[in-house]
């Protein structure tokens, strides 16, 4: 993962900017360039029957100038520190479309965005930037939680049997990224795979019902072998690997809490509209429960 050019989504009207804080932490250690994007929009300015086009243009320009001044004041200490900063203030909505336009323009190695927990209803709305970027951002996406950043441990969530239809290459991307971040920034890396055999009540095959314990044991063995074969291709110590039984949306948040994980790496793939609307990615469901940052990778996003 190329971390020399980072795109940071600035949240207008917010006193705290966790995504910027995390980007600065990265940049201080590898001299990365920081591209800050602030998207401003007020519906009242675009009410055409109240303003003519010239007045609308002046009102937009005034608001953008105001936000640009605020942003310059925000980053002044960082400029004085010697960090490389590029500021961009744009007008429009929805926010995620302008973020994706900026991604296409500068091709950053990473996008950082403050995460915000939201209800299912808000998740379905097209204006919910975080969820839309999880689905559509073509480069790695770092969703930053509020709270103090320790920067000590990360965990890569793997799927060696590709039960979520993820391509095999995505697990390798996650492992290589975890190793790279561990070496470059000194984070202790963990590697986790969770699996969940069908509950007895959902097993309808007569032979499996008769030997349910054997089915569970065979399932565990299959996942163990696939997990060990995947990790065996990398210099990973056994104590840093974890094979756990249970659904990912339950296992991962518990593991994050118990092991004080600061950054969780997950893979995501594009799905059809109906599936994402009604179910959502595992990464999205996990983000609702974890209390750490989430780094989302997609096939070929590195």
Count of structural domains, the chain:
2
Instruction: Give the end of a domain, one of 102, 129, 149.
Output: 149
Claim to verify: residue 41 and residue 156 sit in the same structural domain: no
Claim to verify: residue 72 and residue 167 sit in the same structural domain: no
CATH code for the domain in which residue 127 is found: 3.40.50.12370
Claim to verify: residue 285 and residue 273 sit in the same structural domain: yes
pLDDT of residue 276: 45
Kindly give the confidence (pLDDT) of every residue in the chain, 302 residues in length, as a single tens digit, with 9 standing for 90 and above: 889 999 999 998 888 899 999 999 999 999 999 999 999 988 777 765 556 778 888 888 999 999 999 999 999 999 999 999 999 999 998 999 999 999 999 999 999 999 865 544 444 444 478 878 888 899 999 999 887 899 999 999 999 987 655 677 899 999 999 999 999 999 999 999 999 877 656 666 655 666 777 878 888 999 999 999 999 999 999 999 999 999 888 999 999 999 999 999 999 876 554 444 433 456 667 777 788 999 999 887 66
pLDDT of residue 232: 96
Instruction: Give the end of a domain, one of 96, 114, 149.
Output: 149
- Cα pseudo-dihedral 233, 239, 241, 247, rounded to 10: 170
Claim to verify: residue 136 and residue 159 sit in the same structural domain: no
Claim to verify: residue 113 and residue 235 sit in the same structural domain: no
Expressed as residue numbers, the domain containing 289 is 152-302
Claim to verify: residue 162 and residue 71 sit in the same structural domain: no
pLDDT of residue 47: 65
Claim to verify: residue 171 and residue 245 sit in the same structural domain: yes
Instruction: Give the end of a domain, one of 115, 149, 183.
Output: 149
């Amino acid at each position: 993962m190329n971390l020399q050019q980072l795109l940071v989504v600035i949240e207008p009207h917010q006193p705290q900017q966790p995504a910027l804080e995390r980007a600065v932490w990265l940049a201080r250690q590898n001299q990365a360039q920081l591209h800050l994007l602030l998207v401003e929009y007020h519906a009242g300015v675009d009410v055409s029957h109240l303003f003519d086009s010239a007045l609308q243009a002046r009102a937009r320009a005034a608001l953008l100038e105001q936000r640009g001044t605020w942003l310059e004041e925000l980053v002044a200490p960082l400029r004085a520190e010697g960090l490389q900063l590029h500021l961009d203030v744009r007008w429009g909505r929805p926010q995620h479309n302008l973020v994706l336009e900026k991604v296409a323009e500068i091709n950053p190695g990473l996008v950082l965005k403050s995460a915000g927990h939201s209800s299912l209803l808000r998740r379905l709305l097209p204006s919910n930037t975080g969820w839309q970027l999880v689905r559509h951002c073509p480069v790695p996406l770092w969703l930053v939680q509020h709270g103090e950043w320790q920067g000590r441990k990360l965990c890569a969530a793997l799927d060696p049997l590709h039960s979520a239809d993820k391509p095999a290459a995505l697990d390798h991307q996650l492992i290589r990224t975890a190793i790279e971040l561990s070496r470059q920034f000194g984070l202790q890396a963990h590697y986790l795979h969770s699996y969940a055999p069908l509950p007895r009540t959902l097993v309808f095959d007569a032979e499996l019902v008769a030997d349910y314990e054997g089915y569970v044991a065979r399932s565990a063995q299959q996942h163990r072998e696939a997990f060990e074969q995947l990790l065996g291709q990398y210099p990973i110590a056994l104590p840093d690997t974890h094979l756990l039984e249970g659904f990912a949306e339950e296992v991962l948040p518990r593991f994050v809490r118990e092991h004080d994980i600061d950054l969780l790496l997950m893979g995501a793939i594009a799905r059809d509209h109906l599936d994402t609307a009604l179910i959502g990615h595992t990464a999205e469901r996990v983000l609702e429960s974890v209390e750490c940052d989430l780094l989302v990778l997609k096939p070929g996003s590195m």
